[in-house]
Structure formats: structure tokens, C-alpha cells
A = this chain, B = another copy of it.
Amino acid sequence: MNVADDSAPKGPLSGYRVLDLTTMVSGPISTMMLADQGADVIKVEPLRGETMRNAGIKHRGMSSSFLSCNRNKRSLAIDLKRPEGLDAVRRLLPSCDVVVQNFRPGAIERMGLGLEVARAARPDIIFVSISGFGEEGPYAGQRVYDPVIQALCGLADIQRDRDSGEPRMVRTIIPDKTTSVTAAQAITAALLHRERFGEGQHIKLAMLDTMVAYLWPESSSGLNYVGNEVDPARAQMGLDLIFKTLDGYITAATVADAEWRGFCRAVDRPDMLEDPRFASATQRSAHQTERRKFMSDAVSGYASADVIARLRTEDVPCAPVYTREQLMRDEQVLKNGIIEQHEHPVIGPVRQPRPAVRFEKTPANIRSLAPYLGEHNADILRDAGLSEADIAALAEAGVTAAETPGG
């Protein structure tokens, strides 16, 4: 695994330790963002590994989804149901700045690692509880999957089919991922407060709350004015500007007059500049069905690369619709260096997107790929103050476990 040079500039969260008890996606990506920015994230897993280790595609024993949610972390696989296991993790607490967990409400207390226990060990701890619906209320105890939140929060309503009126899901886990980024911001803000005022705190974040706040500004603008509501579906901007070309699909936007004129010139239809139906933004909006049909017909006679080049020359905002494989070969994606390739001694070459934020002084980066289960047991238990003999005894007694990389 490639480890960064010690003298290199460090991420803005370097020096902080995070005890990561989360599973699945919303928690793990949140702590991965902290790890990308330099935090020492200790992922505590059950002996068989957390759920995502067994999800989806695997290669040399490493789940691809797990790989993308857990880089830059260390793994401790330990049985928290056995007193020696629980005790070892509790001995880590005094050195931790943050504890993050996303069990159902009440579970962490039953496990013996709740807020009170953490705070007793480290009075200024930042303790983070990520949940589906909040800690109290009618759904609080229910299991949550991403589509359940999509159904409740209005996202499936936004995606309603224009013709049939049927609601539709977004086919990627927007609520999970948005909760991750939101949690990472909150944890960073709490660290900042602690740095200034010496005070830790409990942070609670529900996926449902996150998604309502996230979607609201544009998708519920019809509901802002109490007593003057407008159907949000009507108030919503239409975005389905995808046009078929000879060899694929593109998108193009013609909001401003200059963009409309540029489009007409780009597709060799200067005659349309005279059409009164499209003479102003207001007119174009009033005749949007005709406008869409004209644009669609005009684009259909070109290959994607050809029409994109013409539109760019005229400064019309546009892009090809990429598959995920095409994306990797795009010249801007290559220029930005968005997708990095890392060499893993067991797995071989691995692609990962680098952290999006470019910090001038405190770069976030990929220092190590996701750990195999229990890969850092000994290191972490040493950090907890255990002796080599204690560490060996825990492994011998089956309180810790480690998989053989690639096995």
C-alpha cells in the first residue's frame, strides 16, 4: 500500500482520531472523507466484517463497494460481545476525538459504547449518531434502506414519470451519500468549536431530515409561501434536455438569448433566429414543446462529437452524455486527474476518484486503500495500550480476527 511521505503537507484533519463504528454507506463515506483529509480513522468491525464486505462484486476477497467507502482507514475486527473485546475498544476511547455510529437508536447503548461511556472516557468527545428517521418518533425504531428515504423525502415524487404520473426512484443512493457529506461537515464544525472553546458534543443527523433540507431549495420552492402555495411539480424546472445524435446522446441548454442564437447558428439553422415563437426567453418558455422538438430534430443529424464542437464554438452550454467508461477517457477528467490509479500489493491496480476538494496548503489524498478485515488489529490495540502478550491472547481466544489478504 502506498503511504504518503511523512514530510508532505498533511490534510486539514490530521492529528484527529475517529472511532468509526458505522456500517453500510452513509457512515463509512462520512468517515472516509475525514480520513481523506488526514484523520486517523479506526474502523471497528465484527469478526465476520461489516455487511458491505460481502456486498456486490469481489476481487481477491475485497468487495468493490467496501473498497470505495473505506480507504485511508485502519481495520480492527473484534468481538464486542465478549468483555475483553469491549474493554479493548473502551481503552481506545481516551485517544479518540470523534466517535461515529449509525446503529438503530438505542443499540449503541446496549453494546456498551454509548454517549455516556464515551464521554466518561473522554469528556470533550464528539459523539455522532446517524439515523434513518431520528432518535424518537413513530419510525425511529424501523430499519431503513435508501429507497425508503427516497419514497418519503419527495425524491421519488420529483422523479415522477411525465406521461404515466408514476413515481420513480433515482437509481443511485442519493440519501445515503448526501447524509455522508452532511455528517462530515457537521463533524468538522464540531471539531472547530472544540478547538476554539474546548467543548465536545453530541451530533444527531437523520437521513430523512438531511434529504428534506437538501431537496427543498429548488424542488419545494412552491411550498415556501404559506397560503400562497404553488404545486411544486409545476414550479420545478424541467431538466430532461437530452437529445439523440447519430451515435449517442448530448445535452444542450439555451436559456439566455445568446445561447439560443448560438444554438441556431451551430446547427446551421439561422432561419430560426427570425421565428417569433422563440424570439425571447419568455417566448421560448411559452413554446417549449416546439422548441424541444426543433432542437431534437436539429441535433439528430449530427454525430455527438461534431455537434458538441459546433455548440462549443458558439459558447452554448453542452456536453455529451457519457457512460461511466467514457467518462474516464474525457479530456477534462484526465486534465483534472479526477480518477487515480493505485497499486495494491494483493489486489493489483485499483481505480479511485481522488477527493474532490483541492486544498492549497492541506491536501486531501489517498494514502492507503481500504483495509482487509483486521489488517491493523495489532497496531490499533497497541494504540489502546495493550501489551504484545494481551494482543496475542485476544487473537488466540478468537476475540479478534483477521482475514488473509486475497484469501
Binary interface encoding of chain A residues 191-230 relative to chain B, with 1 for a CB under 8 A from any of its CBs, else 0: 1110110010111111011101111111111111111111
- CB pair B323 A154 closer than 8 Å: yes
Confirm or deny: A336 has a beta carbon within 8 angstroms of a beta carbon on chain B.
yes
Cα–Cα distance between A189 and B358 once the two chains are bound (Å): 12
This chain: copies in complex: 2
Q: How far is the CA of A14 from the CA of B221 in the complex (A)?
A: 28
Question: Are A352's CB and B216's CB within 8 A?
Answer: yes
**Considering only CB atoms and an 8 Å cut-off, how many residues of chain A contact the other chain?**
150
A107 on interface, CB distance cutoff 8 Å:
no
Residues 134 to 175 of chain A near chain B (Cβ within 8 Å): 134, 136-140, 142-159, 166-174
Chain A interface mostly: mixed
Decide: A205 and B148 in contact? CB cutoff 8 A: no
Q: Is A320 among interface residues, defined by CB-CB distance under 8 A?
A: yes
CA distance A15 to B228 in the complex (A): 36
List B contacts of A360 (CB < 8 A): 201-204
- Residues facing B in A292-319 (CB within 8 A) are 312, 315, 317-319
Q: Does A372 contact B (CB under 8 A)?
A: no
Specify the chain B residue showing the minimal Cβ separation from A235: B57
Q: Which residues of B have CB within 8 Å of A156? A: 242, 249, 251, 321-322
A333 on the interface (CB 8 Å rule)? yes
Nearest CB on B from A17, distance (A): 15
Segment with Cβ contacts to B, from A60-68, A82-90, A378-386, A392-400: A60-68
Residues in A lying within 8 Å of B, measured CB to CB: 11-13, 15, 25, 29, 33, 37, 56-57, 59, 64-65, 67-69, 133-134, 136-140, 142-159, 166-174, 176-178, 181-186, 188-193, 195-196, 199, 201-206, 208-210, 212-230, 232, 235-242, 244, 249-251, 253, 255, 259, 312, 315, 317-325, 327-328, 330-333, 335-336, 338-339, 341, 347-362
